[in-house]
Structure 1
Amino acid sequence: MTRRHFRLLIPVFLVAILGGVVWFQLRSPSAETIAAWVDQAEIALSNQQWKESERLAQLIADSGDREAAQLIAGETAYFEGNLESAFQTLGQIPLESRWRPRASLLAGYAAFRLQQPYLAEQLLTEAIESYPKEVDAFRVLSVIHYDQGNLRVAIEDLQQVATLAPEDARPWRQLGLIHRDFERFPEAEQAYAQAVQRKLPPVLEAEVRQEWADVLVRLARHPEAEAILDAIPPEVPMTAERMTTALAIAQVTQSPEQLDAQLAQAVKQFPRHAPILRANGVRALQRNDPESAVKWLKTATQVDPYDYRNYYELAQAYQRANNATAAKEAESEVKRLQALLTRLTELSEAAMDQPWDAAVRRELATLCRSLGKMELAKQWEIAASRCEQAR
């Protein structure tokens, strides 16, 4: 072929190429159409309509939008339970992609279910910038932050959940527990009041009412606390915790004879519950019977040797029984346990300031074991391991 013939063919090639471009543009779906297909595919996946999701996934793949196709592939893997594949596929979608927020959201859920909370926190925090009303993202973040001991941020997450899911009692109950642990009793009381206004199973509502009443006792609002407990249906089984709160109320609202009868019933029903044993010891001191008080309170320290309040009351009983040596020993134990609790508070604050510091959590676990808080120690050990995993 001569150069002249070749040059004559160039316009023909250009016409063919340009014609192909025009044809592709005419046939290529718009961005809005692809977005609609993605929405439809996500609905089909969530409803386990696999054939429909496959059909839409093929349309998206044929459209030439590779990142949209990746998104649907990752979502398909997620809904099929292939979490690792979902996480890897969704994570390949670049930051600048318009599909990135959706990918980050589902990748965050996948990371959480894969027990990688550090990655889940990063991805979900990124996603809620684009999806500020995604209530499940805030639910997951609240769990991550709570489990890591970052309670200040967990409170913010739970407040978002409460706003976005106004009928849900669970965030209010959790807020009540956190505020109660922080001894923010007015805030705890408000949270529990909100929780009870929402629908709860009877047994769970009884637990929430007991916690609410306990907070009211600490606020010296005993008649209100009594009314809260009285609203629990009689068919809900009594618990040691509820009985303890009822005894604290009875010490203020009932006559000595009524209180004595309730104490006798309580210890009969829960003979190995240290707060009930301690309440009997305190009542014995009120009756000017220090010898009986010592017996009750020594038993309380044997049942729960980690509660300084048992030793404090025991020291009072020994003093009234003219046993100065034993009183001094009990007072020493009070000081030792209070020092451990002070350190626990300091480390808990440090854990909030350093949410992914493993060393702080290891020390917290050790300290919790020293205080007999074995379940809490286990939780701090898990949190420490997750910090190390995040490195």
Structure 2
Amino acid sequence: MADASYIDDELFDDPSLCEDDSEQQGLYEHFAVVADKGQSLLRLDKFLVARMEHCSRNRIQAAADSGNILVNGKPAKSSYKVKPSDRVQIVLPYPRRDNEIHPEEIPLEIPYEDDDLLLVDKPAGMVVHPGVGNWSGTLVNALAWHLRGTAIADSGEMRAGLVHRIDKNTSGLLVIAKNEQAHARLAKQFFDHTIYRRYVALVWGDFAEDEGTITGNIGRSPRERQKMYVFEDGSDGKHAVTHWRVLKRYNYVTLVECRLETGRTHQIRVHMAWQGHPLFNDERYGGDRILKGTTFAKYRQFVENCFALMPRHALHAQSLGFEHPATHRELKFESDLPADFRALLAKWDSYKQSEN
């Protein structure tokens, strides 16, 4: 049985975008069985344990608690008594995957850890989940090593507690569950959009206002399969909302914070590009060329030097807040901007001062 989790795909990036169909409110069947006509009344968890290999009763109970087990199309608790001809399904918000994860001893920056969860401050350049072209060296490979000996890792679960993801070239905070209960409860918070997530981005252009909201359905581009796309008429894609606020203006580029109300693949990148403000050096969405500024050769060289200084899109997952799955305390974590981002802003600071 796959884990009872919601995998939030905000900003997930791999060469084929093959995993972004795991997104959000669509549910995918991972297991289904119809009770015999002679089935005697039996608790749902016991019924499933007897029919599923390598699946503990605790895992089934966690799935039921998070609403991922349906009986005749409706969520059912572990205590539900299965009746003759009942159709039982395990449904999760991502397609089933069967790739084996190999633990790898890869150093991780872990600003917080307890018995239930841990925080990872992911560096830019690290892929979160194995996929086409990236079967090793990922965050999940590193987590499988770090969490070895824990129940969630020993169960063979390929995500090793992963609840959400960010792009390979996005740096910043991710929360990881260390047991089934924590995994299910954190997953529910992501599914309900109650997680606080704040990103910092450097984007092209200036803004007429100091803050605003971008609302536009996001789905895979009908013309370029490697990109996501905003469907203005709302007939396709999935509902997406990004709140933004200006932090600092540099004339030709602007530092903004983005707070996510939803978590769609590449949400900040595609929403900002749609509004005419691609992320600085975002190759996929057109931010890797000069979009604003002068025609002077000196300026062109300055921007090229900035691209070389930070050879990735300028996006950092800076803040993450949620309710602790065991203690129910409200937690909030902050991540400092990485060195390349700080150096990039220092360079734009110097340029702005020289222009004044």
TM range (shorter): under 0.3
Structure (1/2) with the larger strand percentage: 2
Higher relative contact order (CA 8 A, sep 6+): 2
The structure having more radius of gyration, on CA atoms, is: 1
